[in-house]
Amino acid sequence: MAKAHALAEGQPISAETPDEAPSPAPEHEAAAPAESMEEKVPETETSDGAPSPVPEHEAAAPAESMEERIVEAQTSDGAPPPVPEHEAAATAESMEEKVVEAQTPGEEALPPLDLEPELAAIFLEEASELVDKNENAIQAWRQAPEESPWVEELQRNLHTLKGSARMAGIMPIGDLSHAIESLVVAAREGRVPLSDDFFRLLQEGNDRLAAMVETVGRGYMPSRAEDVEERIEAMLHPEREVEQPVMAETAPAAESEPLTAAFLDTAPALLQTLMERVHAWKEDQDAQHLESIRDTLHALRSGAQASGFNAIAELAETLLSLPPENYLQALDKGLQALASMIAQAKEGKPVTPDPSVMDFLQHLKQPPPVPEKEEAVPRGQPRYEQVRVRADLLDKLINYAAEINIYHSRMEQQMHAFHYAIEEMDQTRTRLGEQIRRLYLETEAQMLFHHREEDVTRDDALFDPLELDRYTRVQQLSRALAESVNDLENIENLLNTLTKDSEMLLVQEGRVENELQEGLMRARMLPFAVLIPRLRRTLRQICAELGKQAELHIEGGDIELDRAVLDKMAAPLEHMLRNAVDHGIEPPEVRRERGKPPTGTITLHLERKGTEVILQVTDDGAGIDVEAVRQKAIEKGLMKPEIPLSDQDILPFIMEPGFTTSGRVSMVSGRGVGMDVVDSTVKQLGGTVHITTQRGQGTTITIRLPLMLSIAQALVVRVREEVYAIPLTHIRAVKKIKQDALMELYGQQAPEIEHAGERYPLLHLGTLLEAGPPQSQEGLAKVPLLLVHIGDLQAALHIEDIVERQEIVIKPLGVPLNRIRGLLGATILPDGGVALILDTATVLRRAAARRHVPTPVPARPAVEKPGRITVMVVDDSITMRKVAARLLERHGMEVITAKDGVDALEKLQQQKPDLILLDIEMPRMDGYELARHIRHDQELADIPIIMVTSRIGEKHRKYAESIGVDKYIGKPYQETELIESIQSAVSH
């Protein structure tokens, strides 16, 4: 299996497939959005909880905040983050079809957007978030009209959006935002009743804003929503016919000429009085002057209203509604605007307010940033600031944290190997010290006194051997070696201390690394509620397109998921809503005939279970025509007519590419790419889809998704010669059975394993993956089985071995591996190897479709054993073990090493080798004792034993043969002699 090292750098295994993201429909055709996987979820704040409202300083100064963010974007080192893209889930043909569908007529007539990419990215991020917040505020206001917090939030959002759009030069969005804001202000002041018509118009205006923002995202300047603006103006001023939405006034009608003349005569005097009182108030800040100012403004407003100068009256009313602390900022500009408008009225010109002045005053009119929320925070509880982080930067940080996790695992493995090497060193030092001690005793007992003629004159000739020790060269060397052994012991103690310190540091590093990783993952978690506005808009658009009525109920919207999961699940959820309305929900008149309410109900329920999120989409429509699905599956060659399948087995066919039972093709459905997109996207995310339906009652689609995409707990297993990772969320239990029991099961017609009252079909995973039939596993005392349960699929998967359980970092697959069904991705193992991550649900679904029965496990072969020969090397010398292991591996054998007889017995309980190479002299348990133990064990007695030792005497050889050793080889041995002896012993 080809595996690339690029995974270590956080890249796909091979080159990525270029994205071919089709553009959604323009805003004027938003009622029929193209079925595209590439619609985006708005970028949100990386906070621990739900995204908070727009900060007060942004709502209060939209222009300044936009300027700051533009400067920040222009001075950054890298380009701003592009709008998140999603992988294409449909086939190339269906993707081309959707691209053609997205090229709706009329879009090319829109002018291109003349805006810097940095500014466009910033505006799109903020505008999308504000539109979604407006959706939530409108829904909450409609349900509780008496509560004002929603109104204040809605007004702030609209005001911020208006300022941002005008700052970016996108005037159609700014004009519509201003019109909707005026409508909200009028309703707040009681000038417009909170009727159903009001909320419908408010909702339609926000939907049009969302469509305009989407048009900007595609690089076009949206057209002006004149129809919506005119309807808003008509609701604001029902007493007069609106010709254009621009707020401009001509001279009042003839019947009010006396009042007009009186106002024009008194207005300059009132304005002069107002200016004088403002000047006096600036001098001493006396409250009496402030009351005089307000009295003058009241008189000016009343006269303007009576004479029909509504613009002047509105400006005066705005000044009156300002809080006193804002008067100093507002009166200077306000008085200048009043003077200009009164001059226009006296000259008979249309009275038009200065938009910049009105925006400035409306900004000052905004209520203070909800101080009650500050009071609601308990004293002493810390307040947290929020920071916006680019999504691609956050993804990189999470990827780096995941790489640290991999390196941490590799360091742990190396520390274990180092600790094992120190233990080997300790045993070698102990053995060397014992040998030197024996040597020293031998030489001490043989101390000789050599008296020579030439030495008579020496002083030591006066003493005999008992009176003075005289050392030979051997004795001196043995003493020096003993001192060296002591030095080795000191070095070993130092290494042990350093090892313990390193292990402690590694544990601390692991704790910090886990906290870092969890913190970054929490930063990427977002509540599902961020998708609700988009889903509600989609439902309204589809209902308007098809002339049906439906409501969307959300349960569990506060559950948080990985941002990448939300991004990729947005389009599939829209597909499910389209299918529910088009194929499920009946027209109102049909529902009445069937005794149902005219408005259908679609319920989206979320629930968290462990590391998974269960998402159910249920409608109360007509259900799925299972018989029509059966006939279409037969027609497309997906099933044979003679094969009896239950209704539950037939339903998954609707998720096949190009599968549709609709006899018509519309902008909503009929192309057979909807549920295919849902299924492929969910599988890419490591989830599963399960469909249930009841004719005439409705359909439920259950989706199980992981909470996080980057990291998962998995079981690393060996299948034939390959290593795979299986997510633990798919595994219910692990069961081990004896080899004989497994063979008896395979001999049955439909082998099954019973566990906890449930029966699991027995399947060999290697056979399902087409890696080959199961191999003989007599070397293992027990054979592992994975009991897998995913949705309505369950099986007992027979594997060759379980490597380990570990936390894996999921890496994407590049072409062509990403086109293979049944793979979720890949991961890097602690030893540096690469393991593919299996999509167990797809593998089981394919097995169910094929009705596959695995080949029985073969009995022990008489002539040649399949696969590699496994040899256990038992020697107390680490050098001898390494030399033997390299030699055997070079000849294609698998090697198990043990440092003495006790270690060998422990490993024999886990795995049974084909042959044992055995030394004689070892600590704790020597070779003779181990050989006797093996020959008296019924499970191990048939293992061939070759004794390799430096003891080549006939006595040692005969004793070895007497206890059951098959072959006796002396050291040093010839390579060919050893290999031939192994092959001969195994074949017999």
What CATH number corresponds to the domain at position 134?
Answer: 1.20.120.160
Residues 204 and 79 in one domain: yes
- Strand segments, DSSP code E, in 781-902 are 782-790, 793-798, 801-809, 823-828, 834-838, 870-874, 894-898
pLDDT tens digits for range 345-396: 888 878 777 777 777 776 665 544 444 444 344 444 455 566 777 778 888 8
Identify the CA nearest to 206 among candidates 27, 375, 17, 374: 27
Q: Would you mind telling me the total number of residues written for the chain in this entry?
A: 988
Average pLDDT, the chain: 75
Mean local confidence (pLDDT), 692-706: 89
Place of tokens 């430096």: 950
Q: Are residues 440 and 553 in the same domain?
A: no
Assess whether 844 and 890 both reside in one domain.
no
Residue 385 within any structural domain of the chain: no
Whether 856 is in a domain gets the answer no
Domain around 170: 23-87+105-236
343 and 436 belong to one structural domain? no
Compute CA distances 229 → 183, 746, 785, whole Å. 10, 74, 67
Domain boundary among 494, 525, 556: 525
Question: Residue 363 falls within a domain, yes or no?
Answer: no
Amino acid (1-letter code) at residue 265? D
DSSP bridge partners of 823: 838
Q: If you ran DSSP here, which 8-state letter would residue 586 be given?
A: P
Average pLDDT value for residue range 168-191: 87
Query: What's the domain count of the chain?
Result: 6
Contact 786, 731 (CB under 8 A): yes
Q: What is the pLDDT of residue 855?
A: 41
Same domain, 319 and 301: yes
* 241 or 660, which is more confident: 660
Q: Which residue has the higher pLDDT, 799 or 712?
A: 799
Q: Note whether 882 and 921 are same-domain residues.
A: yes
Residues 333 and 470 in one domain: no
DSSP 545: H
Residue range 103-161, pLDDT digits in tens: 444 455 678 888 888 778 888 888 888 998 888 888 888 888 776 677 888 888 898 88
3-class secondary structure, 671: coil
Pairwise CA distance, residues 389 & 523, whole Å: 10
pLDDT above 90 as % of the chain: 9
- Residue 63 resides in a domain: yes
Which amino acid does the sequence have at 941? A
- CA-closest candidate to residue 34, choices 675, 668, 544, 671: 668
Rounded-to-integer distance, Cα 459 and Cα 447, Å: 19
DSSP 249: B
Which backbone phi and psi does 3 adopt, to 5 degrees? -140, 135
CATH number for the domain spanning 753: value is 2.30.30.40
Q: Which two tokens stand for residue 375?
A: 């009071």
Does the pLDDT at position 240 exceed 60?
no
Does the pLDDT value for residue 868 go beyond 90?
A: no
Residue 289, CA atoms < 13 Å, CB-side half-sphere: 16
Residues 892 and 945 in one domain: yes
Backbone angles phi, psi at 907, to 5 degrees: -75, -25
Condensed to tens digits (0 to 9), the pLDDT of residues 876-922 reads 887 788 888 888 988 888 899 998 889 899 888 888 899 999 998 88
Look up the CATH number of the domain holding residue 562.
Answer: 3.30.565.10
- Of 210, 216, 223, 222, which Cα lies nearest the Cα of 537? 210
Regarding whether 185 and 40 lie in a shared domain, the answer is: yes
Residue (of 498, 878, 920, 274) closest to 886 by Cα position: 878
Q: Report which secondary-structure segment, H or E, holds 762.
A: strand 758-764
If pLDDT is split at 50, 70 and 90, which confidence band does 775 have? low
Residue 922 in any domain: the answer is yes
Encoded amino acid at 143, one letter: Q
pLDDT of residue 382: 52
Shared-domain flag, residues 258 and 225: no
Using a pLDDT cut of 70, give the percent of the chain over it.
75
Q: How far apart are CA 225 and CA 748, in angstroms?
A: 72
539-to-16, 549, 627, 654 alpha-carbon distances in Å: 34, 9, 28, 22
Q: What's the average model confidence in pLDDT over 201-228?
A: 89
Q: Among candidates 611, 516, 605, 532, which has minimal Cα distance to 574?
A: 532
SS3 letters for 269-294?
HHHHHHHHHHHHHHHHCCHHHHHHHH
Kindly tell me if the per-residue pLDDT of 670 is higher than 60.
Answer: no
Nearest alpha carbon to residue 835 among 708, 733, 714: 714
In a domain, 167, yes or no: yes
Q: What is the CATH number of the domain that holds 301?
A: 1.20.120
Residue 97's pLDDT is: 37
| 604 in any annotated domain | yes
Residues 516, 576, single domain; the answer is no
Residue 757's SS3 state is: coil
Asked whether residue 111 is assigned to any structural domain, the reply reads: yes
Maximum distance among all alpha carbons in the chain?
A: 158
Helix (H) or strand (E) holding 600: strand 600-609
Q: Are residues 166 and 300 in the same domain?
A: no
- CA–CA separation, 207 and 180 (whole Å): 12
